Amino acid sequence: MTSLNLEALFQSKIDEEIKIEPKDWMPDAYRKTLIRQISQHAHSEIVGMLPEGNWITRAPSLRRKLILLAKVQDEAGHGLYLYSAAETLGANRDDLVQQLLAGKAKYSSIFNYPTLNWADLGAIGWLVDGAAIMNQVMLTRTSYGPYARAMVRICKEESFHQRQGYEIMIAMANGSPEQKAMAQDSLNRWWWPSLMMFGPHDSESTHSDQAMKWKIKRKSNDELRQQFVDVTVPQAEYLGLTIPDTKLRWNEARGHYDFGEIDWEEFWSVVKGNGPCNKQRLKARIKAYEDGAWVREAAVAHAAKKEQDKLPESSAKAA
């Protein structure tokens, strides 16, 4: 079959909603786009453990600590499913990790902001996990089978994460005046970075057009951001908190909330490595990788020993 025919067959499968599986023919650019997006997503999950992990030892009660531990462990699991999904496309996991540690790979801008107090853990669960779900529910229907299937499980866990965050916000917003002020301050600091998670405006997005044709993405960055604002505003009202945007108002004609402009200079500065915590995050990941070297070495030695034990005695001696 010629490459033109292969490409037409591939697109017709996408158009007919047939999932693309690892052994199917796919254009190189489709494979590359997926490896880029899935690995960035995996890195985000792993780096995303850091701002919250910081609070495990300082959770205000045993119950909160248990929930937070479970959540942070879930993020590690999400990273592992996603690295595995990238491997089904021929990527090498260690190469991907090395790119992250070298500061060459992107991960979500949101994780370069600091968690200053317990209310931030509420705001992260509510807003950051809320934004993540908005994007990831769409990805459960993405055209690449292993990615779509990983997303189904991830979304179930993310919705638990969102609820734990909102529950913290409910407790704080209905607590003492000081607690309510902390909740408001967290919302003030996390609102705009959460809107940035959806990426640049559609008109500035490099990959969206092609990713939508291939049904990797099914909704654009701006569509998802709007959807997130529309569901989150009533949640803030229920908490009695104010979203820090003077331009935010319901637009009857559009049937959506209008909202102000993101500070794109800040967004690109964070993406390029100059956010408040970029250097700290990479340093923590490098240390974790180095500290874990003995585990990787032990696992390799164990696997080699098992292989050797399988050999008949004479060839094992020769080896």
* Site residues for ligand BYC per CB under 6 A: 36-37, 40-41, 44-45, 48, 75, 106, 108-109, 128-129, 132, 135, 196-200, 205-208, 211, 221, 271
Return the percent helix, strand and coil in the chain, to nearest 5. 70, 5, 25
Give the shortest CB-94-to-ligand BYC separation in angstroms: 20
Q: Minimum CB separation from ligand BYC for residue 304, in Å? A: 34
Instruction: Tell me the residue number closest to ligand BYC, measured at CB.
Output: 48
At 112, is the secondary structure helix, strand, or coil?
helix
Nearer to ligand BYC by C-beta: 104 or 306?
A: 104
Of 72, 276, 135, the C-alpha closest to 193 is: 276
Closest CB 299 distance from ligand BYC, rounded Å: 25
Residue closest to 259 by CA, chosen among 291, 287, 231, 286 = 231
DSSP for 75-94?
Answer: HHHHHHHHHHHHHTTT--HH
C-alpha distances out from residue 248 to 183, 243, 258, Å: 19, 8, 5
Residues 6+ away with beta carbon under 8 Å from 113: 51, 189, 190, 193, 275, 276, 277
Q: Which helix (H) or strand (E) holds 250?
A: strand 249-251
Tell me whether residue 106 or residue 153 sits nearer to ligand BYC (CB atom).
106
Residue closer to ligand BYC by CB (options 108, 184) is 108
Collapsed DSSP state (helix, strand, coil) of residue 249: strand
Q: In the complex, what is the shortest distance from the CB of residue 71 to ligand BYC, in angstroms, rounded to a whole number?
A: 8
Q: Name the residue nearer to ligand BYC (CB basis): 175 or 200.
A: 200
CB-nearer residue toward ligand BYC: 95 or 307:
95
CB 180 within 8 A of CB 171: no
Q: Which two tokens stand for residue 57?
A: 């030892």
DSSP code per residue over 41-109: HHHHHHHTHHHHHTTGGG-SSHHHHHHHHHHHHHHHHHHHHHHHHHHTTT--HHHHHHHHHTT-S---G
Cβ of residue 76: shortest distance to ligand BYC, in angstroms?
A: 10
Closest contact distance (angstroms) between CB of 256 and ligand BYC is 19
Q: Could you tell me if 6 and 20 are in contact, meaning their C-beta atoms sit under 8 angstroms apart?
A: no
Nearer to ligand BYC, 86 or 241 (CB): 86
Nearest distance in Å: CB 97, ligand BYC:
16
Find the shortest distance in angstroms from Cβ 84 to ligand BYC: 16
Question: What is d(CA 36, CA 28) in angstroms, rounded to the nearest whole number?
Answer: 12
What 3-state class would DSSP assign to 257?
A: strand
Closer Cβ to ligand BYC, 27 or 175, answer by number? 27
| Residue 55 or 198 with smaller CB distance to ligand BYC | 198
